[in-house]
Amino acid sequence: MTSDFRTLLPIAEQAVTLAGEIVRTRAPGVVTAKGDRDMATEVDYAVEHAVREFLSRETPQIGFLGEEEGVTHAGDGLMWALDPVDGTANFLHGLPLCGVSLGLIDGDASVLGVIELPFLATRYTAAEGGGARANGVEIRASDTCELGAAIVSIGDYAVGENAAELNRPRLALTQELAARVQRVRMFGSAAIDLAWVAQGRTDALVMLGNNPWDTAAGVLIAREAGAAVVDVDGSPHTMTAGATIAAAPRLVADLVELLAEARKGSSDGPAVRRG
């Protein structure tokens, strides 16, 4: 397999074109409960099936991981990671803040990403070493250097088992951010969070959780746009990271410090978890 992952971008874009059409034109349909306040729609499954079948024909040597059905093909070391509808709750409520997120993972690193926002008519693309684009136009992350001038998005609060314990550091983080940054935002979609950091629409994202299908595309797009992307302790972000912090580079140290304060002040229990 070539190391120039840009050669795979046209295939990834075809896949999300197919996915985006399904999201735009189909009603959510039957909703399947996956846990406490966690669900998947018929559209989630339809997109995952369509993209998996397309990619298995076009790139049979590459594995496939989907949010709804897990790993269905191991491949030769590379792995597609798909969130068929990132922001399912938004989608169910008719909110346009949802999208298709397709990333390519090499080992533990994201090397290609395409995010399609069907209801906002925007597509974000990046391949390692090739920069990041929105609808074909190069994008850059912001150069904000002060938290007081920053708009910071945060990931969803936890639901399900141990939600109260898991939300203590999240709520403490929200309080710390509210006291320090210009504005706090919660969009309900990791793909949008990361894409908008890449585009400079927001200055940072702090998400206390990390699933590969949520972050594989957006992490690469943000990095290629010049954002710094790190784990909870400031170390480089990987697909096994416990959290995702993406920000204008000069904000990262302050955000890592602020998050450490929030975790320390919330409880002695675990602050983050994968999943």
Q: What is the pLDDT of residues 6-60, one digit of tens each?
A: 999 999 999 999 999 999 999 999 888 877 777 799 999 999 999 999 999 999 9
Q: Is the pLDDT of residue 82 over 50?
A: yes
Q: What is the pLDDT of residues 119-169, one digit of tens each?
A: 999 999 999 999 999 999 999 999 999 999 999 999 999 888 888 998 999
Residues 65, 82 contacting (CB under 8 angstroms): yes
* E-strand stretches of 87-212: 99-106, 109-117, 122-127, 132-134, 137-138, 151-154, 183-185, 204-207
Residues 143, 204 contacting (CB under 8 angstroms): no
With residues binned 3-state (H G I as helix, E B as strand, rest as coil), the percentages for the chain, rounded to 5, are: 40, 30, 35
Spatial neighbors of 227 by CB under 8 A, at least 6 apart, are 141, 197, 198, 246, 247, 248, 249
Q: How far apart are the first and last CA of the chain?
A: 30
Say how far apart CA 133 and CA 195 lie, in whole Å.
10
Residue (of 250, 265, 264) closest to 148 by Cα position? 250
Q: What is the pLDDT of residues 176-225, one digit of tens each?
A: 999 999 999 999 999 999 999 999 999 999 999 889 999 999 999 999 99
Q: What is the pLDDT of residues 216-262, one digit of tens each?
A: 999 999 999 999 999 999 999 999 999 999 999 999 999 999 999 88
pLDDT at 267: 61
Residues 187, 120 contacting (CB under 8 angstroms): no
pLDDT at 122: 98
Neighbours of 68 (CB within 10 A): 18
pTM for this model (two decimals) = 0.93
